[in-house]
Amino acid sequence: MDFSFLDVYKDSFIHGFVTTIEVSVVALILSLILGVIIAIFRISRVKPLEWFGTAYVEFFRNTPLVIQIFFFYFGLPSLGIDLSKFMVASLGLAIYTSSFIAEAVRAGIQSVNKGQMEAARSSGLNYIQTMWHVILPQAFKIIVPPLGNQFINLVKNSSILALIAGGDIMYAADEAAVDYDVIPIYIFVAGLYLLLTIPLSLAVNFIERRWAKQGSR
C-alpha cells in the first residue's frame, strides 16, 4: 500500500479534517436549535404551527440532502444571493438534520407523562416554563441516544461538501486522487472518518446502556 500521496497532500487532509469537524459542529448546533423549535411547533395546539412543523419534517425527511445543498449553492445565486461554501454546507446539513432531530425531540417530549404537564400548568407555570423546567429535562434521556446517532450521520453526511468543492476530508481525497492511486487514499480517508465516528458511536452505546441500567427515570 503506497501512502506517498501524503507527502504532497498532508496539509489538504489536515485542513479537510478540521473543516469536516467545523462544519459538523456548526451544523449540529444549528440543527439542534431548529429541531427543538420545529418539534415544539409539531406538538403545538396552534393549528397553523402544527401544520408548518409537520410539513417541514415530512418535506425535508423525504427529499435528498443533495438537493438542499444544490439549492443553496446553485439555486440561490440565480436570485442574486451568494453564500460561502461553508455557509451552504452548514445550512444545508442543519436543515436536513433538524427534521430528524425534531422527530426525536417530539417522541421524547410525548413520552413524558401527560400528568406532568397538567400538574405544572395548574401550579401556575406557563407553557414555556413547563416545557423548559419540567418536560424537557425528563425527555432528555430519551432524546440523547437518537441525537447521538444523528450527529454521527451528520459527520458522514458532511462528505457531501466534496460535491461543491468545499474543502472537507472527501474533497482532499478527490484532489489527491488526480495524481495518485485511489485505493490507498480511500482507505486512509475511511480511517479518518472512523476516527471521528467510532468514538461517537461508542459514546452513544455507553450512554444508552448506562441509562438503561439505571431505569428510565
Instruction: Summarize as ranges the residues that interact with another protein (CB under 8 A).
Output: 58-59, 61-67, 70-71, 74-75, 78-79, 152, 156-160, 162-163, 170, 173, 177, 181-183, 186, 189-190, 193-194, 197-198, 201
Task: Find the shortest distance in angstroms from Cβ 141 to another protein.
Answer: 19
- Residue with smaller CB distance to another protein, 64 or 137: 64
For 210, the grid coordinates are 448506562
- Residue with smaller CB distance to another protein, 24 or 130: 24
Task: Find the shortest distance in angstroms from Cβ 195 to another protein.
Answer: 10
Residues 6+ apart with CB under 8 A from 167: 15, 16, 19, 85, 161
Task: Find the shortest distance in angstroms from Cβ 189 to another protein.
Answer: 6
- Residue with smaller CB distance to another protein, 93 or 131: 93
| HSE, side-chain direction, 13 A CA sphere, residue 13 | 18
Task: Find the shortest distance in angstroms from Cβ 101 to another protein.
Answer: 15
Q: How many angstroms separate the CA atoms of 30 and 169, rounded?
A: 21
Helix/strand/coil percent split, the chain, to 5: 85, 0, 15
Q: How many angstroms separate the CA atoms of 174 and 189, rounded?
A: 10
